[in-house]
Amino acid sequence: MHNPAFASERLRSIVDGFKKCSIVVVGDVMLDEYMWGDVRRISPEAPVPVVEIEQITRRLGGAANVVQNLQKLGTKPLLVSVCGKDDNGTNLKKMLLEIGCTSEGMIESDNRPTTIKTRVMARNQQIVRADRELITDLSENEHKTIGAIFEKFLCSANGVIISDYGKGVISQPFVGQIIEKCTKSGKFIAIDPKDRHFDLYQGVTVITPNLKEAHAMAGMPYRHCSDEEVKNLGWRILDNLSLPYLLVTLSERGMALFEKNGRKFTHLPTVARKVFDVTGAGDTVISVFSAAFTSGATPIEAAYLANHAAGLTVAELGTASVDPETLLEDCGCGIKESVLL
């Protein structure tokens, strides 16, 4: 084991390269709605708290949050997705425009609403979440339309992120089309996975599951596991899917990077100073890793930056993103690396 040090000049060079890259983001967009209030009494109708709503805020969620993360990093995101022909869809497009992102690659569907997740919050504590969505695959025509948009965007992009939230944009034929196009053109492709599509991810560049998703990918029940069990789990997934790289996020334990070449395993302990909300942390990890990798970073350098970015976002309530200077300021901790033969 050794602790490789990353020179600040090297990290700055990688981060400066973010603005030279563009990444296609394909997946399920949604809105995260927060109803903020306070609880002063219990309902006379049922033994539940009554939240007196004082404020309502909305944030970009799902693939739209990945886009927001990339935009804030300085990387150009090209979104390919579907929203409903409704007020929430209009609001989502407006919010993308407000952060400087185009929505030209997002089509409106007559058959589904825009996904919105409403969280009722009392004194910064989530009381309940209500989801309004339709979980079903897109129609054949919708997939053809976004498939054509994807091919157009891919020509000028450095890589692709598939942000799969299992709502219908990512289906078996579409994933196959994306992977085939990326493989033929030698483009980087990263996937934030969902359990119903694990068998479709063969041969992509990197997958970034959390520990629960990693257990599901390996066909195992989720449970707390030792460091050695994490290693065995990761190698099993990497080998089964023929992946060059696998990055497993481990919540308070940080993350684990597996590299096929050299059978190299790297554990990156968490650098979070406090954990307030993990919502959207996975979006931050895949965004920063992808931006760094397509900017010329090695996998361990990309994971190192992603780990620091995640540590910053979990300290915020709700989905959050990190700007390049804040990310660079936060970097500087050592990591443990070991090679498994």
Using N-to-C axis directions, what is the helix angle for 281-294 and 299-313, rounded to 10°?
150
Give the DSSP letter of residue 211.
Answer: H
Which residues does 5 contact at the CB level (< 8 Å), separation at least 6? 334
Instruction: Name the 3-class secondary structure at 92.
Output: helix
Neighbours of 235 (CB within 10 A): 16
**Token digits for 252?**
């308070």
Among residues 281, 232, 279, the alpha carbon closest in space to that of 254 is found at 281
Neighbours of 173 (CB within 10 A): 12
Catalytic residue among 137, 283, 323, 330: 283
Between the CA of residue 211 and those of 34, 206, 228, what are the distances in Å? 27, 15, 14
Strands 188-192 and 206-207: parallel
Residue type, 110: D
The reply to whether 199 belongs to the active site is no
Between the CA of residue 135 and those of 61, 188, 331, what are the distances in Å? 16, 28, 39
Alpha helix (H) residue ranges in the chain = 8-16, 63-73, 87-98, 140-154, 172-185, 211-217, 227-240, 281-294, 299-313, 324-330
- Residues annotated as part of the active site: 283
